Structures are given as C-alpha cells and as structure tokens.
C-alpha cells in the first residue's frame, strides 16, 4: 500500500493551507483541449500526480497513460481524463449505494472514511430474500444490518463500490469519483436477492432513507435479480411485472425507494437488467407508470469496449428518455477474497456505478446546480450511439455514453425548465449549443403513440385475447402431462450427469434439454419452475396465456395507460425548453442555442457570447438583474420585458436588440451600463425610468412622460451617457432629466456636455433638470435636434457653511430651469419672491444664489422667443436629494419645508468648513492644478450640505496628537506624584515606610508600569479623540540632610484615534514619549513642599483619512514635539486619629508644549503644511488626601482636587494646502473649560521588610474630557 491517505487525494494538488482552501484547478474549469473556455485566471490543469501544469495535452496524457486509470477501461471511454485534468475528483460530493455490503478493509477503501450506515427497524410484512423462500422473516421481526460486508453478502457490493469511489493511490483501480464522500447501506443479501414483491417496504425505506438523510445526492442500485416471472420483452410484460410488485395491498420496497427520492430530491441510478430484453427491468421502468418520478430516475444499460450492447444487457426501450448506456463488460473492481484482490465482472450492475460516479464529478463541477440540472447535463451531453438522430435518445442505447468532456461545458439540451443557479461570487461560461431536439422528437412520438392508442378498439383486443385463452387452455389440458414428463426427464438426466460427469450422461442431458425446448409447453414449464419442483397445470396455463401474442397485445395496450394518461395532460409548453438563471453569480452562454421556451433572468448576471445565446423565446428580467454583452456586434432576436429595474451592460461593445423592451409582471425601468452602444430596434413600452450610466442608448423613437425620468451618468466632460433617437423624441412638459455626477473624473464650471440627447426631431417644452451636485448645476440648451448641458456654479462652500450655521436665514435657491419650447433660452432675470423648490433631506435651507449678485426684483421669469440662441438662462439651483446613491440622488425634488436646526455634528462640520471655505471656493472657481481639479470634482459630487461640509472638514488638520500628548503628560506626572505623595504623607499611618535603624534605609529604587485611557469629545467644530497609553517608569531617590531627591525616567506609547462624527472619516496618531524628571520633598516645619521638574520628547506619527466623492487619500506626517513641566505641592498632614490622617495641599503647575512646523505626504494637493506652535498651561489648584492605615503594614488613600488653568490655550493651527500655496487658514482648537477636576484612590502595603507595593487609580477631567490611569509600583529600600 503506497498511500493510506487516499481519501484526501484529489486531482488538484494538496497545498499547505488545505485541499479545499487552495486549488489551482477550481471546479469552474470547463474542459480541456478543443473546449478551452475556462472561467479562471491563467489556464491551470492537473497532472495525475496532483501537480499543476499549463500544458493541457500533458495533463491529459498523465492520466490516460497511468496504469491505475487504464485498469478500468470505462474511465477513458467516458472521457473522464478531461474532468480529472480540470481538477475534478468528486471531492466533497456525497455518493452512495444500496448493495450487498462493502469490504471496508480493502486497500481501496481502508483510508477513504466510508460511511457504512446501519439499517435498523422492524419488517412491515412477511417476506424472504430469495425466490425459493430462503432467509425469510415475519412482519414485526426486527432488523439491524451494518453497511459493511457480512457473511450473508457476496462480492457484488464491493465491486460496485469500487467503480464509484475506489481511491486514487497509484495502484489497483480508481473509482470514477475517487475523492467523493462515499456511503453504503446493506441489502442483507447477495446479487441473487430478488427485488420482487418478496422484499420489505420498511427495510428499504430505512436503507434508502438513511443515505438520503446523510446528504447523499445520488444512490446507485445495482443489487439483486428480478422475479423469475418477469418478462421485459414487451410493454405488457413490464406492466405485468409492475402489477405483481403492487399486489397484496401493501407498499413495496420500490415504493419506499420512490418516496425517498421524491422527499429528498435524490437521484436514483438503476442497473437496467441482464435479461437481454428489449426493455429495462421494472425498477428502471418505474417512471413509465409514475411519470412524476422521471426527474429523479436514471436507468443504465451496459456497453462493451466496442460501444455495443452485450447480449446480456437489456435495452433502454420504454425508458429511453431517462436511460444511458455505460461501460459494463469486463470491468475490473474489488473482490472480497483479500484486502487487495481485484476481479473482472460484467453486467448492467457494473455500468450503473460508472454513471453514479460521473454524477459526482459533475456535482463538483457545478456546485450550486440542483440535481435535476446535473441530470440534464449528464443526459444531454452523452455521446450518441446507434441509429437515429444524434440529438435524440433511441430505444437501444437511450442517450448514449456519458461524455465527461462535453459535460463540462453546460447542458446541450433542455428537457423542460432548467434552473441555472450560480451563487454569489461565482462566474461560469457554458459553450455547448443548447437545443430542445429531444423534446421536439418526444412530442412527435408521444402524440403519435397516443393517437394510435386512442384509435385502438379495445373490444377487439379483448375478444382476440379471450379466443386465444380458450385455445391455450385446450393445449395445456391436452399437453401438460407430456410437457411435465419432458421436464422431469431433463431433470433426471441433469442429475445423472452432475453425479458422474460422464460424456454419455452429458449427451443424454443435452438431448433431453433439446426436447424440452422443442415443446412450447415444456419450455414454459421449465421457465416457470426453474430448478425447483415443476409448477402445476394452472400456473402453466396462466403463463402460457400471458405469453400468447393476442394476450400480449391487450397487455401492451393496458400497460400504456398510465404513461399516455400523463401525455394527454401535456401542452405545447411542456415540450419547450426554458432557461432560468438564478443566484447572484454570473453565467455566460456562448453557444448557438435554439431552445424556444424563453429565458428568465431572476438573479445575478447573464452574459451572452453569441446572437443566439438566449434561444428564440422572450427574455424576462427581474429587478436588479443584469444582461451583459460578452462579444461585439451581437444582435439578439429576443423580446425583452423588465419587472423592476433591469440592467443591460454593453461593456465596450455594440449590442443590438432586434425587438423592443416592455414591462413585465411589474413596472419596468431600463438601466444601461457600459461604454458601448445599446441599439434597440423595437419599441420602448416600459413605463418606468431610463438610466444611461455610460455609453449610448440608440432607439428609433423615445417618449418621456411627466412621471418618468431620464438619467445620464457623467464620467468626464467627454464621457457621459447619451440618448440617440433616430426618429422623434418627445418630452412631456416638466419631464425630468437627471444628471448623476458621482462617477465623474472631472467636473468644473464652464464645461459643456454636448449632445446628451440627439434626435431626428426633438420636442422638449420644459425640462426639469436635477443633479446630485450641491456645488454645480447643469443648464440645458435645447435645439430642434439636441440637448446640451452647460455646467454652472450655483453656490459656494462659504455660503453653505454660513446658511447651515444660521438656519433662520432665508433660502436663496432658484426654481428648476424650464426650457422654452423654441430654441431661445429663458432670460437671465432672476425670479422674485419665489421660494426654493428643492431642499435637502436634512431640511436645512440651501444657500444657492442666482448667478448674478443683483437683488431680486419684481420682474417675473419670462420665456422670450428669438430667432437664434441667446445667452444661457440663469442656472437652476435645486438642492440635492438625501443620499449619494443614484436612485436617491436623482429622486424628484421635495417640496419646501420649514427650516430645522441641523444636528450638532453638522453644525460642527459647518463651523470647521467655514474656516477654509474661501481657499477652496477659489479653487472651485479656478483650480490651481490637475490634482486640485480632481478635488473640486469630488466636492462637486456631494449631493447635500451635510455631505459637502463633512467632506471639507476632512481636509483640515486634526490636532489629536497635541491633545493626546497632554493626556500622556498628565499620566506621567501622576506617576511621579505617586512617589512624592508617599514621601510627603509619610508621618501618618505607616510612618515613613522605612525600616528603622537599618543601614542604607535612606535610599530607594522603584518601578511602576502603568496604563491610561483618554477620551475627548467633539467640541467647537474640533473632532475629539480616544487614546490609550501604556508605559513604564522607574527611578531612584535618596534622603538628603533636609528632604529627599529623586531621579526618574519614563517611557509611554500612545495610540489615538480621532472621532468621526463631524468629518465622517478617521485619523490616527501614534506617539512615543520619553520623559526625564527630577523630583523631591523639602520639610518646612509642619509643612511639606514637594516639587517636580521634567522634560520630555514625543515622537508623533499622524495620519488622517479623506474619503468623499470617489476620492480616497491618506495624509501622513512625522514630527517630534518637546514638553517641559515644573510643579509644586505644599501640604500639611493633619492626624485625625492613630490610623487616619488628612493631607490638604496647594498646587501650582506650569506646562509648555512646543510643536514644530511639519508637512504631510501622501494626499497630493490636499497635503497640509502646518505651522509650528507653542501651547501653555498654568494650573492653580487645591487638593486633599485622606490616608487610612488598615494595618501596620497597609494603607488606603483617597484623593480629591481641583485646578484652574489661568492661560487655557486653545491650540489654534495655521495650515496651507500643498495645492494652494500662500493661502493659509486657521483652525481654532477646542475651547476647553479652564477647570480641571481630579480624583484618585490607592492602596499601599509592605510586601517584605524592605519592599512596598502600591496600587493606584487616578482620573482627571474637564467638560468633554476625561483621563483615567491605573498603575502598580514596587519600591525597594537599600
């Protein structure tokens, strides 16, 4: 055994991250060789050894030349090498079988993790495993049968299992789906078990049901032999077998299998039988009597190596519509004589597992298709064998041999409704030509069969059968004894020969056998009796009557009844193939398709790679779906209907729809995408809106009602959506034309979008033009054959900011533009006393003003006719809709509403934007560079005041570093204070904490790790922040003649993030702080003076994000700041009792922070140059500490204090955009409250005689600001 890990072996290479996670040859590979249309990046194929290759021929050869592949000739016959080279192996697919056990220890399965399922329950009826009554049971008896091989089994189940799923391990054989997840349940018998009325419903409901419950998608049934009375040579004979199976007023084992298939939608694969008859056995034929089962049924005849039916194989016959032929002669697979034994076997039992394995490969290839779609692909792509049209199944071979090369390219026919479910994130291409040839032929055959059947005179058939019965009865009565003697003589001669093995005895047996065959009654008697006791006269009579041609004619007529009753209910639509695309993924059809039942696009994207890709029926598109052209100059003949918004993406191609576009089951809207041209030659009758995101929509005529909207997308002044009407274009008065600028790459005043609408003749009395830009408007210029749009500036950032900050001010918006019916635009007289017609969603009045600065007069707007175009009309100034998405952006203009005060965050954004508005407004009017033009374009995409103000505020400097440094300094200062507090309060409770009388007790070393959290709320247009700091401080100190002195070093790392409520985007700062401090205490009688002086350096790495209007930039900077601090604390200890003392104190602290000038990088012209600054604080404060000695070795302290900042610096920032040098602006820092409150609690205890531990928590805060810290300090005396 070379490799026990065979269950993990796949055609795809195993990577370190796991086979499922990384497969170069994903199952979306379609095929190799001539069908290289694989939807993956860079064609990758897989060699037999699992290594990837770009050489398709080499990959195929690596499989076909390997002995393990060649051992089963059926693999090559089905073109399985194409599936393997494409990376398919059945991995993850659950396949199963009901059969006579499996030798689980065989080397082909020992490492395959086979799920051998138990069959447990009680029998429903009396029965037996074999025709002669052996291995019987009674109703109510219990059964509990393991799935593995048992003494009651033969090799059949192991042989079948090997063909389906034997491991690929470099030796022996490999199953068709060698990496599938294989399951098996046990029939509790052998291949001689009879699948007749003797078998039990409960047992097989459990056998099939357990597999289905485990998730098995295809179940192979090759087990057993038919009832000896069954004759599949005619429809009547098959019908008789069906009636026998249904006898006894009880459910049969086949009922159980059918119920499982229907309940779980499992596919059942059936061996067609080995009687050499013209029809399949009864279990394979069941859908003929129960047509609803056909979608779950596949029957399989056997083929030999020359692709002909061996003499033993039943033909497909009446099951040809659901029948295949597969390799079933001299097939090598598992034997059970040892754990490595192999054996050749023949039969349809060997053919069926090849089909089951093929299903597993296709289920992996198409992971989101349902079982019916997989079945359709397998049947319709099979290689035709025998006579008749190549695309129609025949009575001998059915659909033919599975072709696992062609099957990788989608279905070749539709057998009804085909559901192509492609899940989100997946894409695929199907290149097979898709027809409905079999449906067309089936319609012809079935209707002809029905006509003959209906024309048959049943009474004549019955009379002939009755007459034949009389004659047969007479023959049996007169000839039974002779026939019985011949059969008995044959049995005696056979017994003698078996005992002696002499030649003369064999000759005598052969003569007796010929005599039996020469006598029709004796031959039938032998057939009915088998090797048992000859049947009686009545049984022989029944068999002879059933075999009589006249009786068979009547039986054939009656046998067709159920099938033809179903045919009578079929309509023409049942014989037309229809294609349904579901799922949010993408599928491209590139074949020459001829199905006529239409295409329903219900989800995701459907690409067309040929002009006949959608067959000849209509295309129905559901809401949000996309039809995409995948080649140039395609012309689809399908009528298109839209239910909701249907998207047609031409990409860069020209796509022609020869018919029109109409409403579907709901109101439809057209959404045209792609830079190419969509030509619609038929009428547009849908009642919704039209959006042209890019490219050109060309139509013969166009009408836009007042309740409809035409939207054009703008990418640049030369690339925008266009409507080209070859005939007449009629726009109702006040018809809406919307402009979507969100994807534009360049936008500025003075630009013109020429020919947005062109027509042979144009009637547009008044166009109501709207857009999703607050800063710009689009002024229409209408002529007799075209509409151009001029871009004009309608407001400024400064106006928007001022109006937002003063919401009581009246709006200055002008009404939407009404274009005159003639070629003369309206005059430039602004309207008077007219309220704004468009307000943003926030109900904040817009600040858009007329183009001139002339006060409004009482002159009304007029439409003056002229012979030639005059100056453009005053620009419209509608405020933008509520959201930035095109649907909302281009919604109808809302009615005016009373002014409502904006939210605090919007007010803050307005206050921030107001400071830089003059600079940016100048850029809007005249960009200083190409990069600044991009910034202007991004600002122009903002649809409402709130989004515009937020965008502007993102471009301002963020001062989170300085604020975070102050928080970090406060934390570091408290670290030192923790030391001086301990010294200055040493007379209470624990005393000095020194070990009295010890040498060297006046020296100490200490270390203190700490962590803090700082939060600053948004205040006065300045975004707040949150910061976290961790660090470590250490120091040494000693006692002087009068007082103590110490030296400390501290390191702190701070991460700060700016709030996003005002700007809508984030900023981050990383600060590395280093501080050196000198501190001490001096006794002043009963008072104690603590002092501290420190200096620090802070390395800053700051980034701020700007993301608006399609612009996304991150400005980064690095610089260092210096800080210095001196502080004093004058305190007195007031003992309350032996354990409690109060320590009031006065405090004075001065802090100075020096920041250098710095310049950002990474944001182009929005990089800022920020001037250096100095900020100071002078805090006067008072505090009180309460110390309580819990024990002689431990103390708890609480602290409360307040300080007032005499300076209270606001930290204004002066900055300049890189794209606007010399135009500086100032952004004030937040107005902080001068009052600062402090509180804390600590616990100190003596760890050992020479060491103390201090736990401390502190907090300080002012309005909108809080800093909290926790620390643990350990000190050692030496």
Q: Indicate the domain borders of the chain.
A: 6-412, 454-567, 955-1277
Tell me if 270 sits within 8 A of 298, measured CB to CB: yes
d(CA 1276, CA 1269): 23
Phi, psi of 909 (to 5 degrees): -60, -40
| Whole-number pLDDT of residue 449 | 94
Q: Where are the beta strands (DSSP E) in 478-592?
A: 578-582, 586-589
Comparison of pLDDT for 10 and 649, the residue scoring more? 649
Residues 738 and 710 sit within 8 Å (Cβ to Cβ):
yes
What's the Cα-to-Cα distance from 1185 to each of 620, 773, 1146, 1200, rounded to whole Å?
A: 80, 61, 11, 7
What's domain 6-412's superfamily in CATH? Peptidase S8/S53 domain (3.40.50.200)
74 three-state secondary structure: helix
Q: What is the pLDDT of residue 847?
A: 35
Q: What is the mean pLDDT of the chain?
A: 86
So what CATH class is 955-1277?
Answer: mainly beta
- Residue 1249's pLDDT is what? 84
Over residues 1025-1048, the pLDDT tens digits come to 788 899 999 999 999 888 899 999
Q: How confident is the model at residue 1220 (pLDDT cuts 50, 70, 90)?
A: very high
What's the confidence (pLDDT) of residue 953? Answer: 86
List all residues 6 or more positions away from 1149 whose beta carbon is below 8 Å from its beta carbon. 973, 1125, 1126, 1127, 1128, 1177, 1178, 1179, 1181, 1203
| Catalytic-role residue among 156, 183, 354, 384 | 156
Nearest one of 262, 197, 251, 250 to 224, comparing CA atoms: 197
State yes or no: pLDDT of 528 exceeds 80: yes
Q: Please pick, among 72, 99, 403, 649, the residue that the annotation labels catalytic.
A: 99
> 313-327, 405-419, 1163-1177: which has the minimum mean pLDDT?
1163-1177
- Which residue has 């103590």 as its token pair? 1044
Is pLDDT at 807 greater than 50 in this prediction? yes
pLDDT per residue as tens digits for the range 772-784: 888 888 999 999 9
Q: H or E element: which one contains 776?
A: strand 776-782
Cα separation, 787 vs 798, in Å, equals 32
Averaged over 1155-1181, what is the pLDDT? 92
Of all helices (H) and strands (E), which one includes residue 555?
helix 549-559
The secondary element (H helix, E strand) that includes residue 923 is helix 904-925
* Residues sharing a CB contact under 8 Å with residue 1243, sequence separation 6 or more, in sequence order: 1194, 1195, 1196, 1197, 1254, 1255, 1256
Residue 5, token pair as written in the block: 């890990």
* Catalytic residue flag (residue 777): no
Q: What pLDDT does 1020 receive?
A: 60
Integer-rounded Cα Rg, in Å, for the chain is: 45
The pLDDT of residue 573 is above 90: yes
Q: Is the pTM of this model over 0.85?
A: no
1277 forms beta bridges with: 1004
Tally helices (H) and strands (E) across the chain.
24, 56
Tell me the mean pLDDT in the region 1112-1129: 93
pLDDT band at 795 (very low <50, low <70, confident <90, very high): confident
Q: How are beta strands 696-699 and 677-680 bridged, if at all? A: parallel
97 band by pLDDT with thresholds 50, 70 and 90: very high
**CB-based contacts of 301: which residues, under 8 Å, 6+ apart?**
272, 280, 309, 313, 314, 315, 316, 323, 324, 325, 326, 328, 348, 351, 396, 397, 398
Q: In this structure, how many other beta carbons lie within 10 angstroms of the beta carbon of residue 853?
A: 6
Question: Is residue 967 predicted with pLDDT exceeding 70?
Answer: yes
Scan for tokens 């419950």, then name that residue.
213
Quick count: other Cβ atoms within 10 Å of Cβ 544?
23
Q: Angle formed by the axes of helices 904-925 and 797-805, to 10°?
A: 160
Residues of the chain above pLDDT 70, percent: 86
8 A C-beta contact, residue 1046 and residue 1035: yes
- Assess whether 156 carries a catalytic annotation: yes
For 976, list phi and psi in degrees, rounded to 5.
-70, -40
Residues 6+ apart with CB under 8 A from 29: 38, 40, 44, 45, 86, 87, 88, 365, 408
At residue 100, what are phi and psi to the nearest 5 degrees?
-85, 60
Beta strands 786-793 and 776-782 are antiparallel
The tokens describing 791, both together, are 């871009």
As a whole number of angstroms, the distance between CA 980 and CA 1082 comes to 10
Confidence of residue 1063 (pLDDT cuts 50, 70, 90): low
> Which ranges in 985-1049 belong to alpha helices (H)?
none
Helix axes 549-559, 458-500, angle to 10 degrees: 110
The span from the CA of 901 to the CA of 807, in Å, is 6
What is the helix (H) or strand (E) element at residue 1027, kind and residue range?
strand 1025-1039
**If pLDDT is split at 50, 70 and 90, which confidence band does 886 have?**
very low
Annotated catalytic, 1055?
Answer: no
Structure tokens at 840: 């943003």
Mean pLDDT calculated for residue range 407-433: 98
Among 167-176, 238-247, 628-637, name the one with the lowest average pLDDT. Answer: 238-247
The residue ranges of DSSP E strands in 379-426, in sequence order, are 417-421
Please answer whether residues 637 and 656 qualify as being in contact, where contact means their C-beta atoms are separated by less than 8 angstroms.
no
Q: Which residue has the higher pLDDT, 120 or 874?
A: 120
Cα separation, 753 vs 781, in Å, equals 10
d(CA 902, CA 1140): 55
Question: Interior CA angle at 589 toward 586 and 593, to 5°?
Answer: 155
Which tokens go with 273?
């039988």
């Amino acid at each position: 055994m070379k490799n026990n890990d065979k269950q993990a072996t796949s055609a795809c290479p195993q990577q370190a991250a796991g086979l499922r996670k990384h497969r170069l040859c994903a199952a979306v590979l379609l095929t190799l060789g001539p069908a290289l249309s694989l939807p993956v990046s860079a064609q990758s194929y897989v060699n037999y050894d699992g290594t990837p290759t770009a050489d398709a021929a080499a990959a195929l050869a690596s499989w076909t030349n390997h002995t393990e592949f060649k051992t089963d000739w059926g693999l090559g016959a089905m073109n399985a090498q194409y599936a393997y080279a494409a990376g398919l192996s059945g991995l993850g697919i659950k396949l199963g079988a009901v059969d006579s056990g499996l030798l689980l220890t065989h080397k082909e399965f020992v490492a395959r993790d086979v799920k051998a399922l138990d069959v447990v329950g009680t029998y429903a009826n009396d029965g037996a495993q074999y025709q002669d009554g052996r291995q019987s049971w009674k109703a109510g008896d219990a059964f509990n049968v393991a799935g593995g091989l048992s003494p009651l089994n033969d090799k059949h189940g192991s042989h079948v299992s090997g063909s389906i799923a034997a491991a690929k391990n470099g030796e022996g054989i490999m199953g068709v789906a060698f990496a599938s997840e294989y399951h098996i349940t046990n029939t509790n018998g052998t291949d001689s078990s009879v699948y007749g009325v003797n078998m039990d419903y409960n047992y097989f409901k459990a056998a099939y049901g357990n597999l289905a419950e485990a998730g098995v998608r295809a179940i192979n049934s090759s087990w057993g032999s038919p009832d000896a009375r069954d004759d599949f040579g005619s429809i009547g004979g098959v019908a008789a077998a069906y009636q026998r199976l249904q006898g006894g007023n009880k459910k049969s084992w086949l009922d159980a299998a059918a119920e499982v298939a229907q309940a779980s939608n499992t596919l059942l694969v059936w061996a067609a039988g080995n009687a050499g008859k013209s029809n399949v056995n009864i279990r394979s034929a069941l859908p003929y009597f129960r047509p609803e089962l056909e979608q779950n049924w596949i029957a399989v005849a056997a083929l030999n190596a020359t692709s002909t039916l061996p003499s033993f194989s039943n033909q497909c016959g009446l099951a040809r519509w659901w029948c295949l032929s597969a390799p079933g002669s001299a097939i090598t697979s598992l034997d059970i004589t040892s754990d490595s034994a192999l054996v050749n076997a023949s039969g349809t039992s060997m053919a069926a597992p090849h089909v089951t394995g093929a299903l597993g490969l296709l289920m992996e290839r198409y992971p989101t298709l349902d079982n019916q779609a997989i079945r359709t692909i397998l049947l319709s792509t099979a290689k035709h064998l025998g006579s008749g049209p190549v695309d129609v199944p025949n009575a001998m071979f059915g659909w033919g041999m599975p072709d696992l090369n062609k099957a990788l390219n989608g279905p070749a026919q539709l057998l009804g409704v085909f559901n192509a479910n492609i899940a989100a994130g997946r894409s695929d291409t199907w290149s097979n030509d898709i027809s409905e040839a079999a449906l067309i032929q089936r319609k012809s055959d079935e209707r002809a069969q029905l006509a003959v059947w209906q024309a048959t005179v049943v009474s004549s058939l019955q009379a002939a059968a009755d007459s034949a019965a009389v004659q047969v009865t007479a023959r049996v009565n007169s000839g039974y004894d002779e026939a019985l003697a011949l059969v008995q003589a044959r049995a005696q001669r056979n017994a003698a020969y078996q005992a002696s093995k002499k030649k003369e005895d064999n000759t005598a047996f052969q003569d007796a056998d010929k005599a039996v065959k020469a006598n029709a009654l004796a031959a039938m008697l032998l057939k009915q009796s088998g090797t048992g006791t000859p049947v009686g006269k009545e049984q022989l009579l029944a068999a002879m009557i059933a075999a009589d041609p006249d009786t068979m004619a009547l039986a054939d007529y009656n046998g067709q009844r159920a099938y033809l009753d179903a045919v009578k209910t079929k309509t023409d639509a049942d014989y037309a193939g229809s294609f349904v695309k579901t799922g949010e993924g993408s599928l491209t059809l590139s074949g020459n398709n001829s199905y006529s039942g239409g295409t329903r696009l219900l989800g995701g994207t459907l690409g067309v790679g040929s002009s006949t890709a959608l067959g000849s029926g209509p295309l129905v598109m559901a809401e949000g779906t996309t039809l995409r052209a995948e080649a140039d100059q395609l012309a689809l003949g399908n009528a298109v209907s839209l239910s909701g918004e249907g998207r047609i993406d031409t990409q860069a191609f020209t796509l022609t729809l020869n018919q029109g576009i109409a409403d579907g089951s709901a109101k439809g809207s057209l959404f045209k995408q792609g830079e190419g041209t969509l030509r619609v030659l038929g009428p547009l009758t849908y009642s919704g809106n039209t959006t042209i995101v890019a490219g050109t929509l060309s139509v013969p005529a166009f009408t836009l009602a007042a309740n409809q909207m035409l939207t054009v997308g703008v990418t640049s002044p030369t690339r925008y959506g266009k409507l080209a009407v070859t005939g007449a274009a009629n726009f109702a008065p006040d018809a809406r034309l919307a402009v979507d600028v969100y994807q534009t790459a360049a936008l500025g005043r003075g630009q013109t979008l020429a020919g947005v609408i062109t027509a042979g003749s144009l009637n547009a009395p008044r166009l109501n033009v709207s857009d999703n830009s607050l800063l710009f408007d689009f002024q229409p210029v209408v002529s007799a054959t075209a509409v151009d749009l001029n871009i004009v500036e309608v407001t400024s950032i400064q106006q928007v900011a001022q109006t937002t900050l003063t919401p009581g001010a009246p709006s200055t918006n002008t009404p939407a533009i009404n274009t005159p019916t003639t070629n003369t635009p309206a005059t430039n007289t602004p309207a008077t006393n007219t309220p704004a017609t468009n307000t943003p969603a926030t109900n904040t009045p817009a600040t858009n003003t007329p183009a001139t600065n002339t006060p409004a007069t009482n002159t009304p707007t007029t439409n003056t006719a002229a012979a030639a175009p005059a100056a453009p009309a005053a620009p419209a100034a509608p405020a933008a809709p509520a959201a930035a998405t095109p649907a909302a952006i281009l919604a109808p203009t809302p009615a005016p509403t009373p002014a409502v005060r904006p939210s605090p965050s919007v007010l803050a954004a307005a206050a921030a934007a107001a400071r830089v508005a003059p600079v940016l407004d100048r850029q809007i009017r005249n960009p200083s560079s190409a990069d600044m033009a991009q910034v202007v374009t991004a600002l122009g995409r903002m649809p409402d005041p709130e989004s515009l103000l937020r965008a502007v505020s993102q471009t301002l400097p963020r001062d989170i570093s300085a604020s975070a440094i102050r928080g970090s300094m406060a934390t570091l200062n408290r670290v030192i204070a923790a030391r001086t507090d301990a010294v200055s309060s040493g007379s209470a409770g624990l005393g000095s904490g020194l070990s009295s009388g010890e040498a060297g007790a006046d020296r100490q070393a200490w270390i203190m790790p700490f962590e803090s959290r700082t939060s600053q709320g948004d205040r006065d247009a300045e975004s707040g922040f949150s910061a976290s700091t961790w660090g470590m401080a250490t120091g040494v100190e000693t006692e002087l003649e009068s007082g103590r002195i110490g030296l400390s070093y501290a390191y702190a790392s701070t991460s700060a993030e700016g709030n996003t409520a005002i700007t809508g985007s984030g900023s981050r700062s990383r600060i590395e702080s280093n501080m050196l401090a000198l501190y001490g205490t001096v006794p002043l009688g009963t008072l104690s003076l603590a002092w501290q002086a420190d200096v620090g350096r802070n390395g800053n790495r700051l980034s701020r994000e700007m993301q608006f209007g399609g612009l996304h930039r991150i400005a980064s900077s690095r610089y260092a700041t210096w800080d210095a601090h001196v502080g004093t604390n004058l305190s007195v200890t007031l003992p309350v009792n032996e354990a409690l003392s109060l320590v009031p104190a006065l405090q004075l602290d001065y802090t100075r922070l020096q920041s250098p000038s710095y310049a950002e990088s990474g944001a182009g012209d929005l990089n800022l140059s920020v001037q250096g600054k100095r900020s100071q604080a002078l805090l006067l404060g008072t505090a009180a500490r309460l110390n309580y000695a819990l024990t002689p070795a431990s103390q708890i302290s609480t602290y409360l204090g307040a300080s007032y900042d005499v300076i209270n610096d606001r930290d204004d920032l002066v900055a300049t955009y890189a794209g606007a040098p010399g135009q500086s602006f100032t952004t004030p820092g937040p107005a902080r409250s001068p009052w600062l409150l402090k509180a804390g609690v600590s616990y100190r205890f003596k760890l050992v005689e020479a060491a103390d531990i201090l736990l401390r928590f502190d907090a300080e805060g002012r309005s909108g600001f809080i800093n909290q810290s926790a620390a643990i300090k350990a000190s050692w005396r030496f």
